[in-house]
Amino acid sequence: MRVKLRGERDLEKILAKRFGKSQMQHVVDQALIKGAEKVADIIRQNMQSFADTGKSARATNVSKPVTVNGLREVKIHWQDSTERWRIIHLNEYGHFDKAGKWVNTAGKGVIENAMRQGRNVYFATVKDELRKL
């Protein structure tokens, strides 16, 4: 079978024709989840630098893939019974204490740095998963 491709949209059309849209979406979803899990692991490891009880690292989760504005996306979030995301936000960006003094926490910027570290890992993982097709 000969195929001449000119762009990404042509590739998507050919793959959708060959495998079907639902199968392609399933493959893409699995690739997105595996990539996000690797980034979440990097975040968990970096959060150990300021961990007290380790609850914040354990609360790190990966959402199911959803379509937003026509694109599939996966989110890394912090969800547990104690609404941990509020503490994560304070640790990541710093906060004012009751006296009005700015507090730079030990975990300030840890998640942002982990996201930068994990960017290449994420894209490489997604590409590898899609190559297995």
Annotated domain spans of the chain:
12-78+110-131
With residue 119 as reference, give the H or E element that holds it: helix 110-131
**Tens of each residue's pLDDT in the chain, 133 residues:** 444 546 667 767 777 788 788 888 888 899 999 999 999 999 999 888 887 788 888 889 999 999 999 888 999 988 877 888 888 888 889 889 999 999 998 888 888 999 999 999 998 998 888 787 6
What pLDDT does residue 7 have?
Answer: 62
Q: Which amino acid is at 38?
A: K
Give this prediction's pTM: 0.80
User: Of 5, 84, 72, 6, which is closest to residue 33 (Cα–Cα)?
Assistant: 72
DSSP strands (E only) in the chain: 60-62, 66-68, 71-73, 76-78, 95-96, 102-103
